Amino acid sequence: MTKLIWKLFKIVLTLLLAFLMYVVIGGVVPFLHHPDVSQTKKEAVESTQFYSDSVGPDRATIIEDNEEALKMRLRVIKDAQKTLILSTFDFRSDDAGKDILAALLNAADRGVKVEIFADGFNSIIQMENNDYFYALSSNKNIKIIIYNQVNILIPWNGLGRMHDKYVIADDSLYILGGRNTFGYFLGDYAGHKNYDRDVLVYNTGSKASSIYQIKDYYKKITSQKCCSVFHCNESLGEKNSVKKAEQELKKRYESLENKYDKFLAENYDYKANTYETNKINLLSNPTSLYTKQPTVYYGLMYLAKNAKKEVKIHTPYIICNDYMYNELKNIKVPTTIMTNSAENNGNIFGAVDYLNHKKDIINTGVTIKEYEGGISYHGKSMTIDDDIAIVGSFNMDMRSAYIDTELMLVINSKYINKQLKASMEEYEKKAATVKNETEYSHIPEGMKMKELSDKKKNIKAWFGWAMNGLRFLF
């Protein structure tokens, strides 16, 4: 009997290991190849008119503060009259997430057609079996669309992720940037925080507005076969637990109106609170599931290589291959990249990769600044000379370049450039300038670089080699 049990155990263990190998190998292999940018895509980028000598129809402003980011989302959602679209990589029902859910539900209840677009990996973790999301999905005016619902039996689809973050109200307003939809990035609730950045764009009333670029992109990506509807079933709303969640969200919105009474009650003058722009263009990666041509990265580097004075880049982490390093080397003007120090980096994989490849980044010739502000910095932005500002979801890493869908908004405006530079420079006041792999040429007065934690040291020592081989996934 004991031999039989042992034999069955070995069979089960073998099958489990075989299935694990099937999932890992099947998931990774489709993303091993990193293609070049085709001539067609290069020409599409290079033929884009990123600059204009005249004032365009869009006005914009940078949203820097997490609390302001929450308030402006609530404001934009409140001001929607007909349609609302929210696209997010990660949507959670914590305090900030419930604030957004409550606002979206309120909009739907007053007749606005609401669509929520979420990534398929995080939706399994955060949205399935969640009565708050069911309360929205069962509402007749709300549709939740999922990009690439994860199926462990089809692992080769598993790593394709939707990383886009924006809110669109009618044909008049949108917010686009790097913030996910929960408390790390929105509001001023207790708990963990990340710093991030958005841009609010207001269409003054023209069909030439950049808002139609975003809406066309949304229509294209959500029409793919890999997209599916999340529990679109009105009868689900009849469950007692879902009804209870719905009532909680309605009461929560009432409390939000009291909390932000003046801001939400009074008419908001978007024109007075934004700056003029000459031209706004959307850079986007291909929207398919599998390995992508690094279209956004090519566009960013095309603009950087045509700079006349200076380039500034802010990114949470830097994980580059030879092509990406070479593009940085080919920027002809002084270039600064600010990223988190290894200890300040909230992404442990990004921190270890930075330590493993710091010399490669130094060898590109760019000036590197390490942010040591105590809270992980998640902003993804660039400025070029004094008239281009770029904000979006793209990290300077291989995953953003070759795997995820990504968006970066290129804004030709000396006003937004000045505003963005000022924000970036505030962070740089808490950043040390790298001299070499172990030394700094400048550390701001009163700031001390933190020693790497034992956890990160151990992960680098024990798993650094494995992470190096799979760095394109992180």
Instruction: DSSP for 348-389, please give it.
Output: HHHHHHHHHHHHHHHTTT-EEEEE-SSS-B---EEEETTTEE
CA distance 456 to 463: 10
In this model, does residue 319 exceed pLDDT 90?
A: yes
CB 75 within 8 A of CB 266: no
pLDDT in tens, 360-379: 999 999 999 999 999 999 99
**Could you tell me whether strands 311-314 and 335-340 are parallel, antiparallel, or unpaired per DSSP bridges?**
parallel
What confidence category does residue 158 fall into, taking pLDDT thresholds of 50, 70 and 90?
Answer: confident
Classify 51 as helix, strand or coil. Answer: coil
What confidence category does residue 341 fall into, taking pLDDT thresholds of 50, 70 and 90?
Answer: very high
pLDDT value of position 241: 96
What confidence category does residue 472 fall into, taking pLDDT thresholds of 50, 70 and 90?
Answer: confident
In this model, does residue 199 exceed pLDDT 90?
A: yes
| Locus of tokens 């609170």 | 273
Nearest in space to 290 (alpha carbons), one of 468, 471, 45, 35: 35
CB 125 within 8 A of CB 149: no
Q: Which amino acid is at 278?
A: N
pLDDT value of position 152: 83
In order, the DSSP letters of 289-304 are: SS----HHHHHHHHHH
CA distance 271 to 249: 31
pLDDT in tens, 408-435: 999 999 999 999 999 999 999 999 999 9
Burial of 378 (0-12, 13-18, 19+ CB in 10 A): buried
Distance linking the first and last C-alpha atoms of the chain: 47
Nearest in space to 303 (alpha carbons), one of 193, 188, 392: 392
- Mean pLDDT (whole number) for 128-133: 96
What confidence category does residue 468 fall into, taking pLDDT thresholds of 50, 70 and 90?
Answer: confident
CA distance 197 to 314: 11
pLDDT value of position 1: 57
pLDDT value of position 470: 85
Nearest in space to 133 (alpha carbons), one of 225, 232, 227: 232
Task: Supply the angle between the helices 322-329 and 295-305 in degrees, to the nearest 10.
Answer: 20
HSE at residue 124, side-chain half, CA atoms within 13 A, is 10
Alpha helix stretches (DSSP H) within 157-225: 211-222
CB 143 within 8 A of CB 84: no
pTM of the model: 0.95
In order, the DSSP letters of 256-274 are: HHHHTHHHHHSPP-TTTTS
| Locus of tokens 């599998």 | 290
CB 166 within 8 A of CB 176: yes
CB 387 within 8 A of CB 420: no
Classify 141 as helix, strand or coil. Answer: coil
- Mean pLDDT (whole number) for 277-286: 98
HSE at residue 206, side-chain half, CA atoms within 13 A, is 14
Q: Which residues have CB under 8 Å from 470's CB, separation 6+? A: 28
In the chain, how many H helices and how many E strands?
15, 20
pLDDT value of position 6: 82
- Structural domains in the chain, sorted by start: 32-52+281-473 (3.30.870.10), 58-265 (3.30.870.10)
In this model, does residue 274 exceed pLDDT 80?
A: yes
Compute the chain's Rg from CA coordinates: 23
Q: Which amino acid is at 144?
A: I
> What region, left, alpha or beta, does residue 460 occupy, with left being phi > 0 and alpha being psi -120 to 50 degrees?
alpha
Beta strand extents in 100-236 (DSSP E only): 113-119, 142-147, 166-169, 173-177, 198-203, 227-229
